[in-house]
């Protein structure tokens, strides 16, 4: 069970009693909306983006199994064809009568029309992992703390390079896809750690490409990161050492390492995120330096717990009501804590993950 404060629990109990069995959101005397709850067996829509990293693939199975076990009818869809496919999928979910929409957006700013339709139909919208922007029609956000992910990556880059030798260090910076609201937050978190070191002269971004817009990787695609790394290496490092690369996730980290290997250079310290199988292997082999543990099981579990709370007509617990301004409103968020993983703590970090713990033995 989620923790509820006494007053929230009381509100929840009253709402559940007053409204159980009836339709969706109802107007309260004050003009606001109270959650109406809904029945077991209701359809729940889960719109996922492209399979740009393993966490999304894991989420698909976990949502299907977890929602079914909790007594709901899951409709989980990937939008490998892009934004318009995701828009169409969400519209169909609404037409099919889902009670809750859980959305991992490809482009969080491109779903305004569909989210308005959802709102009009009284559907609760939960942004999952990625924020939905430029809309008032998003009720909650559930994710790992993205800024903290960036801070951990920035710190890991510094720690990894310090283990190799004395600075100043030559580095390059990579960011994720600009249509994913997370990408900027990851980058800002990392730069909050790295920028002071750049200013102090301890870090040198040899290419000079220090802006988010210069560092982005469209579509989170490995090929794009590899091509950019090839260009950075040939243009700036023919007789210069490269000590570290900030990579926002594991897929891109491996692409960056592939590029460096092809150029025949010594491997720099490279960060990552997601605890993908191939990256955990790479970390254990001493190539990629770090990743982030954002256990998808815990995130999906929390999202399903939110669905259960909504079904019971409860007000949901959030732990952040400040950080996620989507351009129209500050979205109430429940943030989980990410964990940095290097070779040193991998066995501990993955102790309760049967797949990953095998790799650390
Ligand atoms: C997720 C990351 C993932 C990336 C690419 C982001 O929104 O938070 O975990 O690596 O998307 O799929």
Confidence of residue 87 (pLDDT cuts 50, 70, 90): very high
pLDDT, mean of residues 81-92: 98
CA of 300 to the centre of ligand 1 (A): 14
Is the per-residue pLDDT at 9 higher than 50? no
Distance (angstroms) between ligand 1 centre and the Cα of 14 equals 38
Looking at residue 358, its pLDDT comes to 97
CATH for 28-144+294-337 is 3.40.50.2300
Distance in Å, CA 55 to ligand 1 centroid = 8
Q: Is the CB of 129 under 6 A from ligand 1?
A: yes
Q: Is 276 in the pocket of ligand 1 (CB under 6 A)?
A: no
Give the distance (Å) from ligand 1 centre to CA of residue 44.
22
**Cα distance between residue 151 and residue 193, in whole Å:** 6
Domain parsing of the chain, residue ranges: 28-144+294-337, 147-293
Question: What residue's CA is closest to ligand 1, atom 3?
Answer: 53
* Residue closest by Cα to atom 10 of ligand 1: 249
Over the chain, what is the mean pLDDT?
92
Task: Write the DSSP symbol of residue 216.
Answer: -
Please check the confidence at residue 247 and state whether its pLDDT lies above 90: yes
Question: 28-144+294-337 and 147-293 share one CATH topology?
Answer: yes
Is pLDDT at 147 greater than 50 in this prediction? Answer: yes
What is the fold of 147-293?
Rossmann fold (3.40.50)
Q: Write down the pLDDT at residue 7.
A: 38
Please, which residues have CB within 8 angstroms of residue 215's CB and are 6 or more apart in sequence? 173, 174, 175, 187, 209
Instruction: Give 190's contacts (C-beta < 8 A, 6+ positions apart).
Output: 150, 151, 153, 154, 157, 173, 246, 248
Q: What is the pLDDT of residues 49-80, one digit of tens each?
A: 999 999 999 999 999 999 999 999 999 999 99
Q: Is the CB of 274 under 6 A from ligand 1?
A: yes
Question: What is the tens place of the pLDDT at every residue in 264-274?
Answer: 999 999 999 99
| E strands, 108-262, in order | 124-128, 140-144, 169-173, 203-205, 244-246
CB count in 10 Å sphere of residue 234: 11
Lowest-confidence pick of 10-19, 304-313, 321-330: 10-19
CA of 137 to the centre of ligand 1 (A): 23
Q: How far apart are CA 289 and CA 282, in angstroms?
A: 8
Q: Which of 221, 193, 200, 198 is nearest to 208 (CA)?
A: 198
For the chain, the C-alpha Rg in angstroms (whole number) is: 22
Question: Measured from the CB, is residue 279 less than 6 Å from ligand 1?
Answer: no
228 lines ligand 1 (CB under 6 A): no
**What's the confidence (pLDDT) of residue 298?**
98
Distances (CA, A) of 189 to 47, 117, 259, 261: 27, 34, 25, 28
Q: Which atom of ligand 1 is nearest to the CA of 248?
A: 10
pLDDT above 80: residue 27: no
Q: Which residue in 81, 77, 80 sits closest to 91, CA to CA? A: 77
d(CA 93, CA 115): 11
The tens digit of pLDDT for each residue in 206-225 reads: 999 999 999 999 999 999 99
Burial of 39 (0-12, 13-18, 19+ CB in 10 A): exposed
Digit-coded pLDDT (tens) for 222-237 = 999 999 999 999 999 9
Nearest Cα to Cα of residue 132 among 80, 179, 177:
179
Least confident of 85-89, 134-138, 313-317: 313-317
Distance (Å, rounded) from C-alpha 1 to C-alpha 305? 8
Residue 19 is predicted with a pLDDT of 38
């Amino acid at each position: 069970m989620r923790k509820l404060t006494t007053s929230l629990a009381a509100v929840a109990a009253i709402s559940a009693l007053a409204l159980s069995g009836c339709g969706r959101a109802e107007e309260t005397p004050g003009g606001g909306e109270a959650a109406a709850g809904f029945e077991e067996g209701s359809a729940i829509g889960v719109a996922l983006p492209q399979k740009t990293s393993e966490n999304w693939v894991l989420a698909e199975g976990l949502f299907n199994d977890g929602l079914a076990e909790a007594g709901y009818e899951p409709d989980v869809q990937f939008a490998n064809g892009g934004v318009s496919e995701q828009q169409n999928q969400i519209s169909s979910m609404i037409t099919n009568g889902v009670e809750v929409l859980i959305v991992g957006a490809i482009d969080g700013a491109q779903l305004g029309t569909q989210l308005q339709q959802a709102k009009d139909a009284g559907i609760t919208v939960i942004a999952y992992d990625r924020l939905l922007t430029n809309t008032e029609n998003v009720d909650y956000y559930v994710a790992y703390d993205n800024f903290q992910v960036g801070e951990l990556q920035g710190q890991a880059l510094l720690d990894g390079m310090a283990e190799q030798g004395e600075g100043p260090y030559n580095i390059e910076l990579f960011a994720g896809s600009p249509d994913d609201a997370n990408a900027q937050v990851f980058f800002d978190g990392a730069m909050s750690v790295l920028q002071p070191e750049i200013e102090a002269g301890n870090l040198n971004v040899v290419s000079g490409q220090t802006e988010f817009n210069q560092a982005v990787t469209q579509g989170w695609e490995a090929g794009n990161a590899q091509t950019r790394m090839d260009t950075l290496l040939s243009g700036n490092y023919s007789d210069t050492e490269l000590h570290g690369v900030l990579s926002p996730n594991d897929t891109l980290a491996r692409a960056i390492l592939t590029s460096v290997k092809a150029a025949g250079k010594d491997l720099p310290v490279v960060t990552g995120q997601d605890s993908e199988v191939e990256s955990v292997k790479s970390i254990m082999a001493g190539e990629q330096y770090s990743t982030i543990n954002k256990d998808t099981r815990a995130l999906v579990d929390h999202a399903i717990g939110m669905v259960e709370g909504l079904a019971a007509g409860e007000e949901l617990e959030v732990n952040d009501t400040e950080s996620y301004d989507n351009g129209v409103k500050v979205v109430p968020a429940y943030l989980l804590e990410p964990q940095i993983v290097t070779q040193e703590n991998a066995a501990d970090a993955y102790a309760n993950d049967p797949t990953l713990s095998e790799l650390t033995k």
